[in-house]
Chains A and B, each alone.
Chain A
């Protein structure tokens, strides 16, 4: 089986958006699009599912809040209660107002860091990772659409030319 893909380069985001829509109308699968900046609506046009990172952030935040409650209760109430300024040390709930800042900060800490780590893992970006954009111009001013070829090279090439691609390359991907 051939592993050929076609790389169509565009030099304008509006032309790219129209091209993506046209290609999608023909029910041709777009493998990926590489862009130098976020093009609004591109994910919808390509039919990408919405990301669930915000939901994970909420869950991580709850984890942080739970951890803060556990920690303040264990350290201040159970393990070593102390009389500090006459604040009640026998009940977590009565001492709770003094713990609100800690609960808030740990909620934010957990939500922010774990969400970003999840993002890095899901998008496979981390130190020493090699970049995967096929053309260096895609971080400058070019937009690249990658479409796998299934015995329809000529047909695809002419379609992509019509959509305003400035350059079309057929690549053997191994």
Chain B
């Protein structure tokens, strides 16, 4: 027992009188049972949104980018806003599974699987936008460094847009492999429990024949650790490079050296908000309240407070610098008096409200331990972080160096439709995942049950209280 010691002051991570077998049963239940009405309602709504998005994408590709609200000056708007928003959301998954693994945070184990699923599905959505924005997506392979029919004209390795291609594809593929390797033992558990031959076949295929030998586990743990070590700088590099799409340009408001750390913090901020939103619903729907507890919500809120604080300081510094330079151009950046009082003032104030003011409620312990308050705040942050990217892109581009070129961006129904479509696509993927995948890394949770399980903690700490 001594090797399972954990300070009594720490709250248990697994509630209830759970045995190893109970964990198996609890986590297999949503997969083995039938979907309820709520699932079908959510799935139908997501599917309709997705199909609407496909319609809008087809219309865009068939007719041209002109169907969007873009104009000569605002060549990036909702598409790149959505791209950055989705990539940012993805960051929380890797942070939870990689960074928290390196820090030996046990609470990650209940949420890492779903957070990583969210990462992968979010990066899918993100990848769609640059592809559609190309206008000719069938030429999308031109971003790859391959010899082509124009002679050996290569891609431009000096360009941050190309760095993005490498960063996002490395990130997506490494996250996918990390996620799948972690899934193998859990698929094996489902395979060995399955009674229907078809289910058994599917899970046998998905589990790659995982047998759980001592040597396999030794390698598994080493691979997880090294992948976490690789994914940690990787995830930081991805949003750093996304920020360089802006920071290496010469637009006032974009040409800013604090963009990389500021974008990374913002990405984690929005990603954790999305995890909070998704898990807030999932723990209810899948009856996993004993695994995703109040404590998990509070810990996630701590990360939100930290990264939200970094983002708030970054806004303040951008605002101060814009004013302090005394340059008239800087007065039209997204963080300036000009933005706060200009045509896009509503977008500016939405950003301040949703991203800075509302998250401050989390300083109150009662709020950050409340499921419903955390859920509502997380939705506010999701909206706020979307506005951040919209502000950075649209406000900056709407006021160029030449006042006669000033313009305004109005989204068309196609812009809106594609964005809604990606939310639907994301919902479809996540709902299918929740019905067919083990949504909690059960093998890992079993390995901490004796350390952090409520009944084991009580047994061990009984004589101290």
Contacts and interface: CB of A to CB of B under 8 A. Distances in A.
Interface of A: 13-14, 32-43, 46, 48, 50-51, 53-54, 57, 61, 71-72, 75-76, 79-80, 82, 84-85, 87, 95, 98-99, 101-102, 104-106, 108-109, 111-113, 115-116, 119-120, 122-133, 136-141
B158 to A, nearest CB: 4
B223 A106 contact: no
B214 A116 contact: no
A108 B158 contact: no
Interface stretch (B233-241, B315-323, B383-391, B402-410): B233-241
B446 interface: yes
Contacts of B212: 34-36, 133, 138-139
A104 B208 contact: no
B174 A108 contact: yes
Nearest to B1: A14
B156 interface: yes
Contacts of A71: 145
Nearest to A53: B222
Contacts of A101: 160, 163, 166-167, 237, 241, 244
B158 A76 contact: yes
A145 B163 CA distance: 50
A116 B183 CA distance: 13
B214 A32 contact: yes
Contacts of B184: 125
B10 interface: no
Interface stretch (B18-26, B47-55, B99-107, B335-343): B18-26
A43 B218 contact: yes
Contacts of B155: 75
Contacts, number: 205
Contact of A112 (B158, B177, B237): B177
B230 A112 contact: yes
Given A125-B216, A131-B191, A105 B24 contact: no
A33 B233 CA distance: 35
Interface in B128-175: 145, 151-160, 162-163, 166-167, 170, 173-174
Interface of B: 1, 3, 19-21, 24, 145, 151-160, 162-163, 166-167, 170, 173-174, 177-178, 181, 184-185, 188-189, 191-193, 204-205, 207-223, 225-227, 230-231, 233-234, 237, 241, 244, 443-444, 446-447, 450
Nearest to B241: A101
- Sorted nearest first, the 9 A-B pairs with minimum C-beta distance are A129-B209, A141-B20, A136-B192, A75-B154, A101-B163, A37-B443, A125-B208, A37-B446, A133-B211
A76 B157 contact: yes
A36 B21 CA distance: 10
6 contacts: A51-B215, A53-B222, A61-B230, A116-B181, A127-B208, A141-B446
B24 A141 contact: yes
A75 to B, nearest CB: 4
Contact of A119 (B162, B209, B223, B446): B223
A122 B181 CA distance: 14
Nearest to A136: B192
A51 B222 contact: yes
A139 B442 CA distance: 10
Contact of B154 (A33, A50, A79, A87): A79
B91 to A, nearest CB: 15
Contacts of B159: 84
Given A112-B227, A129-B208, A123 B216 contact: yes
A84 B156 contact: yes
Contact of A111 (B160, B230, B447): B230
